[in-house]
Amino acid sequence: TFGAMVRAPSQPALPGVKHVLLVGSGKGGVGKSSVAVNIAAALARDGAKVGLLDADVYGPSVAHMMGQGAAKVTANAERKMQPIEAHGVRFISMANLSPAGQALVWRGPMLHSAVQQFLKDAAWGDLDYLIVDLPPGTGDVQLSLTQTVQVTGAVIVTTPQDVALIDAARAIDMFRKASVPVLGVVENMSYFVAPDTGLTYDLFGRGGSRKLGAEHMLLGEVPIDMEVRKDSDAGVPAVLAHPDSVAAAALTQIARNL
Ligand code: ADP
């Protein structure tokens, strides 16, 4: 459990925040944001105080997945950014700052300062967990984060096919070099059970994430489930909308096992 975890050394803790958890991936489109949103919602439903920072600045999806794509972040009396609250989770996303559909053409230093502001100039309040949805890959934002605050650990999301695993291995290596403990790997889109026949299809090669090495704990296998996609489009995390589905149960278990 979290209590036993070591923190990455030498960065200051975020005041009032017990654990900063990063959710990363090598590639985009593997379900990183979906996993981050569902982990956050599951922990909040279990009674924890949870914040969710959308640091995927190039493709911010958290606001939409939380059903708050049109909401705007406001400043509070202390001129701090007030996180938006939905499904028991306080979150901030670049999507709630910039007009919809507008591209962000920012250079590294601007991204660095945006992430810094999200971390430090937002009124997160006391949190048990701040979940951070990272951009895919191994770039400026990831480095900036690991060099700014004390991080409890990182969760790596991957699909099981080789081309995703190769990049997931790179992401794991980046965290290792930044002294951020990798808590484990989530195999998303692991398999598919046809709802009409009940037949199981290993579309991308279920179990492939074990190739990343036995030292990286497999936190769970989440099947491809149409409800997960529909729920994220509808703005209600699957762990809340369809808690009894196999995918939602896997996501809930992943959150509880962290
Ligand atoms: P990433 O953050 O890695 O780019 P997203 O979380 O945005 O990926 O997911 C990409 C798309 O795949 C979204 O439409 C999402 O709803 C869908 N998706 C993610 N995981 C699953 C799943 N297990 N089953 C079905 N659809 C999924």
ipTM: 0.99
What pLDDT is attached to residue 1? Answer: 41
The pairing of strands 74-75 and 182-193 is unpaired
Nearest-angstrom CA–CA distance, 136 and 117: 20
- What's the distance, CA 95 to chain centroid? 16
Residue 184 labelled as part of a binding site? no
Nearest CA to ligand 1 atom 14: 229
Helical (H) or strand (E) element with 141: helix 140-146
Q: Are 197 and 230 in contact (CB under 8 A)?
A: no
Amino acid 160: pLDDT: 98
Q: What's the structural domain count of the chain?
A: 1
Give pLDDT, residue 109: 72
Domain that holds residue 196: 2-257
The list of the chain residues with pLDDT below 70 reads 1-10, 100-106, 108
* CB atoms inside a 10 Å sphere around CB 112: 18
Structure tokens at 82: 């007030």
Question: What's the CA-to-centroid distance between 49 and ligand 1, angstroms?
Answer: 25
Exposure string for 126-161, b = 16+ CB within 10 A, e = fewer:
ebbbbbbbbbbbbebbbebbbebbbbbbbbbbbbbb
Mutate to test the pocket of ligand 1, among 232, 233, 246, 254 (most ligand atoms within 8 A of CB): 232
Around ligand 1, the residues with Cβ closer than 6 Å are 25, 28-34, 61, 188-189, 222, 224-225, 228-229, 232, 247
Instruction: Check which CATH number belongs to the domain holding 138 and give it.
Output: 3.40.50.300
